[in-house]
A and B are shown apart, each in its own frame.
Chain A
């Protein structure tokens, strides 16, 4: 008799989900943001299909304002595990007009993240896309199904979701429709960190504290990751010991002062923290239901 721990049960559930999709979908893909949740997802995918290689490509939506360390980690991971990588970006002409300094956050995330994602899904004809969303992240996510249906235009209709019973997932769909699948639905932020520590999963070093050039702006600590960062008058980057709880576009993602340089210290900080992880994301601010609106438009 062996009682499974909560992490073992979550792992087994995620593996089951990965296998169902690969058995039933025609052309799956994994949304690979290179963040901690994506790293856990990739690890679970490797477990699900072992000894076979991961049987679908990784799709990274690159805004052009990604942290350099994140891109390096992505390329290293892809090479190490022999994965197929597809990078989705906004079209060049438009990318020049849009930047995180002048463009409003709603338009910015639509143009740099949501639209390129939708275009890539349509272009490649992917009919199922794994995402790292968790139900504990945000109120609108708590009601999201594990298998979430999108119309041919990638819209989500919260009123028209299929009931999800037992571990039976209905993957039937008509031409053009697609499914977003969230294998980490039932994981919490603490589960993710515990699992990363337990399984020794490599993550982008930005999650660990280190000396980084920082300016403080609108109550957020922003890291000056390259020389495109527009300093406001009087702003001088200072070297501070900071880390990230979440990784988005670098000029929009707030760092937290931290001395946590190993996994246990990160978890310790998280447990003692007083703010939720999305607090550091400028994109999620605004009205309370903003995540729901964005999901309806096709955001992950």
Chain B
């Protein structure tokens, strides 16, 4: 029973840790091959002049262009973290059809420069609804920034990030001029370049970057996926550590289970010897131990895999908007079950081999 519980906990721990890793990669997983991101070649923290937009549009193969600027405001408390972007509304919403808004919400957002759209996860986490006023305290752009919620977007898929806030870049730009913030005037963080043929992504990226070579604002263009993976790479050590821990958990339970099976086999040596005396083959006796180990592992693994779903949901809710997407992937569930099977097989291997080779006369003395 304790071993079963141990397996359940180990499988659950593996599932949760794997889901954390998946959540880390969620942005990259949801990225489109038809979108390129152009940023300042020196660093993402340096802005690009908005005038770059006209020149990028001229590149052959570019179908449309939008831009987004990281805002980095605080909603009530610093702990209430969620990404906020100043965007070019129409083109941005066209570039990201996975963010679903009703027609009314879309219209209301587009016509009001103080309007914001927020993801469903933010709305649920902070109890916000359409029409609510919302104030962000700027960290990069000082002062209080007043907004009104015009819409709450849903994700087209469960893997779509619904923990973001979008508002008008025009509003940020106007306010930057009014508040005398020269660094923020007529600039943006990234351009989102839509291309008609994803296969030409590398070629178009080079063309875009070549436009601004040797200028004061050189660019670096890459696919949205590579851009997102760049963020993951910054914290790769943590991700690798989590992955290692998840496999160490499995190794530990493998050792525990192997010990349990070894003890079980030792306690039942007399029974196995009796079975062999009655005419059962060594393979049959080894099969009994393997079957018992596998049954324990499969039931423990299955219970652990099943319980991962509600626990992950509760964990995701508790994490709020830190993990925009926290879904147990099908691949994770398969890995849990496969690893449980492997644990069962490995744990049974040595005891089964020993029992199959034990001499009947010696085994009968163990009674």
Q: Is A bound to B?
A: no
